[in-house]
Chains A and B, each alone.
Chain A
């Protein structure tokens, strides 16, 4: 079920009413309702893959209980590895099987050996990368005695499959979400109202910004050979906003929806395009995944404690795995590698934690220095997104070659220039609202606080923009990851 569909518009109020009126004051029943609603939400896409979630849930629940009672370290390790193998096994099979097969076959053919590699027609289960990481973090935390394993199977199931964040995150930690399923929830008016605002903001980002930019990004990337340099730059910029609007829009809707049910999810994006360097960008972009890799990969590898060589190795490890997590394609690995190259100079010069303070704090506009830093970081990310969006490595290089040609000085040449211009205006409106709310959780947190009328005008404009753009239900990009 897509957030931007009529199905969800009907589904959400029904679950909301059942949750607060029927299952009211009955924690167990509320949790059961969340599990059932989440399974319905997932089955709407393909019921067959529910078995994967259920199996993963049972395995990690049992592993958690075993880790609680088992004291012998070697046995504990066996349980941990059981969970890791099951979870990563599913992920590896469904997501990476064909990739490895094809690359092994290509590698063998380089040595003149032909192997018969029959790729399988595998459907990638939606959200598998997200819930796999979520359950893995639970087992690892229990193994490291950072978390008390749960004995409540329903609460654990709700933690694994909680429908707002099931298919595209944020990737929640058990330490944050699981305890919320133990506590009695009371309806909080202001939380729910702000949740609605965040849903509205998320829909605006997805339906208006991302889907509009997608039209032009697709047009330009799919015909990049025939486009001049300036058009290719424009295509990369459109994709930059498409991917951000799409993914952060999903997170906003997920967080807002959770708040309607009295549950808090972690912030996943914090105005990343206002970052002053790449390190700050990665503290603001897909925060739940970055932190996951930091805690379960980077730090166990030694983090930044060792010498320069180790720092470089660990940085490459985290960025390459992060790239590969996004998809079984060399383009994602190249995207990760490029980000590692951006990041390493900051790390080696100890400048990776320079910009921890809020941007332009207490000021309306950034200083010139901040502006230049923001723009240069933005351009670096735009450049990296080319690899992310390209069909393959050759396409990425030919795209970049097209940009750095004499035609970069010519006028952009795209169809429907008027629509493109309006889209640019909408992006500007979007950035303005993001800027005003850069220290808050979402772009509608504070809008015309002193005027009820103007605030409603803004809401109406957003609602109007959403309903006029929602005619075609576009899938979220991150579903494929």
Chain B
């Protein structure tokens, strides 16, 4: 009787886990937030093939700041919200498998050279990596540099291993890691339709997406609270990998920073700008072919839909600037 009971409990638990895993893998558009369709639309674009020879790679600020419609050359914005040089590198690897690329515009928020705040919740949860080999490579790099780029900095090896373990849990979709999102299945019955709308919109706009839609924002972006720019060794490592890959494949690489809003810009101290510029000067000296086009600058608050992202007005201003750079 006892064995029967334990057997039954285990079988029931396995059955429920199986159904749960089916839900997790089959209904992602139903429970993930709007970032998921954005990431998905871009990975689908790569999968479909016939990729544009000119790409934009970056994070959400690049996603909002570069609208390929209207560029002289045929560009496609493959920027991913919250991403860093890690995702840009692996995107480029995937693209180069079957395509020839001529130009790449690279653009990240300075903050995204320092810390990866969405590695677990987007990169791993959304299934960005095609295999665990890619994740292993990233983890190995992190271990090599002793740089926990996605967690609180610590020299404690135990903490390091705990975070790697956590990363694998996210990668393999341990249901516990997805509980906050799965709740959307109950409380947000319209989530699928909203996500589908975002997916179609981003597809139509060649990868571009406006985040905040306010007429003005005086909110403070992440950099506003940082005292010094110190790039994460892991994120730098992948930046150099991109540069290397571009050089090997004769790709013209342009780095164009997107603007801050005035409110954030005023809060960033001088040292931050200096260390940021020093970092890019060093890269430029290591890779003379690399086009570093803009130091950090700002637009009025009225050009921002939220603390970090340009609105339609800001996009228009920035668009003209980008057009000039591309023309050059």
Q: Report A's interface with B, CB cutoff 8 A.
A: 20, 187-189, 192-193, 196, 418-419, 422, 456, 459-460, 463-465, 467-471
Per-position contact with A for B14-29: 1 when CB-CB < 8 Å, else 0?
A: 0110011001000000
A187-B1, A193-B8 are contacts. A467–B175 as well, Cβ < 8 Å? Answer: yes
Q: Are A418 and B182 in contact (CB under 8 A)?
A: no
Q: Are B16 and A189 in contact (CB under 8 A)?
A: no
Minimum CB distance partner of B8 in chain A: A193
Most chain B C-beta atoms within 10 Å of own C-beta, residue among A20, A189, A196, A464 = A464
Most chain A C-beta atoms within 10 Å of own C-beta, residue among B4, B183, B185 = B183
Task: Select one of A422, A463, A470 contacting B16, CB under 8 A.
Answer: A463
A196-B9, A419-B187 are contacts. A471–B179 as well, Cβ < 8 Å? Answer: yes
Q: Are B2 and A468 in contact (CB under 8 A)?
A: no
Q: List 16 A-B contacts (CB under 8 A).
A: A20-B2, A187-B2, A188-B1, A189-B1, A456-B15, A459-B12, A459-B16, A460-B19, A463-B16, A464-B16, A464-B23, A465-B186, A468-B179, A468-B185, A468-B186, A471-B180
Q: Are A467 and B179 in contact (CB under 8 A)?
A: yes
Interchain CA distance A20-B4 in the complex, whole Å = 13
Q: Are B5 and A193 in contact (CB under 8 A)?
A: yes
Per-position contact with A for B169-186: 1 when CB-CB < 8 Å, else 0?
A: 000000100011011011
Sorting the interface of chain B by its residue count into under 10, 10 to 19, 20 to 34 or 35 or more gives: 20 to 34
Interchain CA distance A469-B184 in the complex, whole Å = 11
Interchain CA distance A418-B16 in the complex, whole Å = 27
A20-B2, A456-B12, A470-B179 known; 11 new pairs, CB 8 Å cut-off, are A187-B1, A192-B5, A193-B8, A419-B187, A460-B19, A464-B23, A467-B175, A467-B179, A468-B182, A469-B183, A471-B179
Interchain CA distance A122-B30 in the complex, whole Å = 48
State how many angstroms separate the Cβ of B174 from the closest Cβ of chain A.
12
Q: Are B16 and A460 in contact (CB under 8 A)?
A: yes
Q: Are A418 and B188 in contact (CB under 8 A)?
A: yes
Q: Are B2 and A422 in contact (CB under 8 A)?
A: no
Residues of B within 8 A of A188 (CB): 1
Residues of B within 8 A of A470 (CB): 179
State how many angstroms separate the Cβ of B56 from the closest Cβ of chain A.
36
Within 8 A of A (CB), among B1-50: 1-2, 4-5, 8-9, 12, 15-16, 19-20, 23
Residues of B within 8 A of A464 (CB): 16, 20, 23, 182
State how many angstroms separate the Cβ of A24 from the closest Cβ of chain B.
9
State how many angstroms separate the Cβ of A390 from the closest Cβ of chain B.
29
State how many angstroms separate the Cβ of A31 from the closest Cβ of chain B.
19
Q: Report B's interface with A, CB cutoff 8 A.
A: 1-2, 4-5, 8-9, 12, 15-16, 19-20, 23, 175, 179-180, 182-183, 185-188
Interchain CA distance A464-B1 in the complex, whole Å = 28
State how many angstroms separate the Cβ of B165 from the closest Cβ of chain A.
15
For the complex, would chain B's binding face be called helix, strand, loop or mixed by DSSP majority?
Answer: helix
Residues of B within 8 A of A460 (CB): 16, 19
Interchain CA distance A418-B186 in the complex, whole Å = 10
Interchain CA distance A422-B187 in the complex, whole Å = 6
Q: Are A418 and B183 in contact (CB under 8 A)?
A: no
Residues of A within 8 A of B180 (CB): 471
Residues of B within 8 A of A467 (CB): 20, 175, 179, 182
Task: Select one of A189, A456, A465, A469 contacting B5, CB under 8 A.
Answer: A189
Residues of B within 8 A of A419 (CB): 187
Minimum CB distance partner of A423 in chain B: B187
Minimum CB distance partner of A187 in chain B: B2
Residues of B within 8 A of A418 (CB): 187-188
The 3 closest A-B pairs by CB, nearest first: A189-B1, A468-B183, A468-B182
Interchain CA distance A62-B267 in the complex, whole Å = 71
Residues of A within 8 A of B2 (CB): 20, 187, 189
Interchain CA distance A471-B15 in the complex, whole Å = 21
Interchain CA distance A465-B185 in the complex, whole Å = 10
State how many angstroms separate the Cβ of A89 from the closest Cβ of chain B.
44
Interchain CA distance A463-B14 in the complex, whole Å = 12
Interchain CA distance A422-B2 in the complex, whole Å = 39
Residues of B within 8 A of A456 (CB): 12, 15
State how many angstroms separate the Cβ of B202 from the closest Cβ of chain A.
25
Residues of B within 8 A of A471 (CB): 179-180, 183
Residues of B within 8 A of A468 (CB): 179, 182-183, 185-186
Interchain CA distance A40-B260 in the complex, whole Å = 55
Q: Are B4 and A189 in contact (CB under 8 A)?
A: yes
Residues of B within 8 A of A422 (CB): 186-187
Residues of B within 8 A of A193 (CB): 5, 8
Interchain CA distance A193-B5 in the complex, whole Å = 7
Minimum CB distance partner of B188 in chain A: A418
State how many angstroms separate the Cβ of A288 from the closest Cβ of chain B.
28
State how many angstroms separate the Cβ of B2 from the closest Cβ of chain A.
5
Residues of A within 8 A of B1 (CB): 187-189
Residues of A within 8 A of B23 (CB): 464
Minimum CB distance partner of B31 in chain A: A468
State how many angstroms separate the Cβ of A254 from the closest Cβ of chain B.
19
State how many angstroms separate the Cβ of A348 from the closest Cβ of chain B.
48
Minimum CB distance partner of A17 in chain B: B6
